[in-house]
Chains A and B, each alone.
Chain A
Amino acid sequence: MASGSILNSKFFNILLICAFFLLAAPFSKAASAEDSTKDPKEKAKEAILEHIGDSHSWPVLGKTTIGLPVILYTDKGLEVFSSKKIEEDGSVYAGANYSYKLEGNKVKVVDASGKVDDATSKKVWDFSITRNVISLWMSAILLLLVFLSVSSAYKKREGKAPKGLQSFIEPLIVFVRDDVAIPNMGYKYARFMPLLLTVFFFILINNLIGIIPFFPGGYNLTGNIAVTGTLAVIILFVVNLNGNKYYWKHIFSPNPWWLFPIMIPVEIVSIFSKPIALMIRLFANMTAGHIVALSLISLIFIFGTLWISPVSVAFVVFMDCIEVLIAFLQAYIFTLLSALFIGMAIMEHH
């Protein structure tokens, strides 16, 4: 490290080599010649969509997967079985109430002849623990471990300089407080700090683990519109439940009275369009990042030659560096805009 630049370090070179082999791992499924008649372009598209979507099993390496519980609430009662039983293409599992089959990512009910029964499938509620649910729990446990240890360190070492993990986390917390919360919310910031810190670190850790290309990572949780939608709904409620009389007056009584019919609908739309923009921004940014990285690797298979691999690996390493930046930036922007919206709702007019 004497030269100072991270690019010259041995550690970085080893990482570069590891990144090359590990990035190829998720594709061993697509690369294996299951049906060579298929267009490589189509196969690449399938593999990418499979990677960025949710799934009922948890891929470890190549075709090895961990089965996850499938929990179905049917009109005849609850049904629980392992996803290993329906994982193979077209395999049917005979449960207590119906028989089930996996079609794409959805569990469908099949009748005796093996055909998908759409009418009954609609009555089945799928509460399965999917890959995204497992990865959400994993990152939640990780966050709890990190922050419980940090907070206990603050209690133990009160008044002393931070140490270890504490000194890594403290600048981020101070950054959220001084650069995000206080400029946008003023002196009332303390009430919203827990929310902002939770949102910031939840998005950050999921973005970062999502970039890791091998087993426990590599999921696309913050690129799942349901997850970002939930975060956005929380912000919607926080903003509107904390809105003071100036906030509501701004919405329901614009200044010249004849603007009522135009301004009130516009303001009501703007209440909902802000969280929707938050949702779409995070979802589209993370999904786009994953798609770009995977498409660059797919180029090797689309062109069908190994000579393209130096180019695509170089681009993927470049993209991954940008993705690390984007992981921080998106967590920051989501928190910043949330703080801005909350600040607009609680500001006193003068």
Chain B
Amino acid sequence: MIGTLAAVTTMYGNIAALGAGLAAIGAGIGIGQIGGKAVEAIARQPEAISKIQTNMIIAAALVEGVALFAVVVAMIG
């Protein structure tokens, strides 16, 4: 497994790109969930839109923070 990975890396470029891609998948799922649930909540309670939006942005920022950690590590590594 490791040998194959090493061979692929030397042929096609840095394996860190794979890490960045995986991080993007994770963040995509996370932010998709947050956005979807927020829209559902707003549809149910349109009067609470400002509170929902604030909490949505905070949660999205936290998810994004984790993804960006992974991207930075992938860029350095």
Q: Please, which residues of chain B bring their CB within 8 A of the CB of A288?
A: 68, 71
Interface SS, B side? helix
Residues of A within 8 A of B72 (CB): 280, 283-284
Stretch of A22-30, A158-166, A333-341 contacting B (4+ beta carbons < 8 Å): A333-341
A340 and B50 CA atoms in complex are apart in Å by 16
Bound form: Cα–Cα A329–B64 in Å: 13
A281 at the interface (CB under 8 A from B): yes
Asked if A179 is at the interface of the complex by the 8 Å CB criterion, the answer is yes
Cβ of B43 < 8 Å from any Cβ of A?
no
Chain B residue at minimum C-beta to C-beta distance from A282:
B68
Q: With a CB–CB cut-off of 8 A, which chain A residues contact B62?
A: 277
A281/B64 contact (C-beta < 8 A), A183-B54, A337-B58 known? yes
- Inside 8 A of B58's CB, which chain A residues have their CB? 333, 336-337, 340
Chain B contact-residue range equals: 10 to 19
CB of A332 within 8 Å of the partner chain: yes
A82 within 8 A of B: no
How many Å lie between the Cα of A280 and that of B71 in the bound state? Answer: 10
Q: How far is the CB of B34 from chain A (nearest CB, A)?
A: 14
Is the CB of A240 closer than 8 A to any CB of chain B? no
Whether B57 and A281, one on each chain, are in contact in the complex, defined by CB atoms closer than 8 angstroms, is no
Q: Which residue of A lies closest to B61 (CB)?
A: A333
Say how far A294's CB is from chain B's closest CB, in angstroms. 15
A272-293: contact bitstring with B at CB < 8 Å (1 yes, 0 no)? 0000010011011100100000
- Min CB distance A327 to B, Å, is 15
Q: Which residues of B are at the interface with A, using a C-beta cutoff of 8 A? A: 50, 54, 57-58, 61-62, 64-65, 68-69, 71-72
> With a CB–CB cut-off of 8 A, which chain B residues contact A283?
72
Q: A277-B65, A337-B61 are in contact. Are A284 and B71 (CB under 8 A)?
A: yes
When distances are taken between beta carbons in the complex, the residues of chain B under 8 Å from A329 are: 57
Q: Which residues of B contact A333 (CB under 8 A)?
A: 57-58, 61
Would you list the 4 A-B pairs with minimal beta carbon distance, nearest first?
Answer: A284-B68, A333-B61, A277-B65, A281-B65
Beta-carbon contact of A281 and B61 below 8 Å: yes
CA distance A277 to B68 in the complex (A): 9
Which A residues are in CB contact (< 8 Å) with B50?
Answer: 179
Chain A residues with CB below 8 A from B65, complex form = 277, 280-281
Complex Cα–Cα for A340 and B55 (A): 11
Pick the most buried of A179, A183, A284: most chain B CB atoms within 10 A of its CB. Answer: A284
CB pair B68 A285 closer than 8 Å: yes
Instruction: Show 22 A/B contacts (Cβ-Cβ < 8 Å), sorted by A.
Output: A183-B54, A277-B62, A277-B65, A277-B69, A280-B65, A280-B68, A280-B69, A280-B72, A281-B61, A281-B68, A283-B72, A284-B68, A285-B64, A285-B68, A288-B68, A288-B71, A329-B57, A332-B57, A336-B54, A336-B58, A336-B61, A337-B61
Q: Which residues of B contact A340 (CB under 8 A)?
A: 58
Task: State the CA gap A275–B50 with chains docked (Å).
Answer: 26
Chain A residues lying within 8 Å of B57, measured Cβ to Cβ, are 329, 332-333, 336
Other A-B pairs, 5, CB within 8 Å; known A281-B68, A333-B58, A337-B61? A280-B68, A280-B69, A280-B72, A283-B72, A288-B68
Bound form: Cα–Cα A347–B65 in Å: 25
Residues of B contacting A285 with CB < 8 Å?
Answer: 64, 68
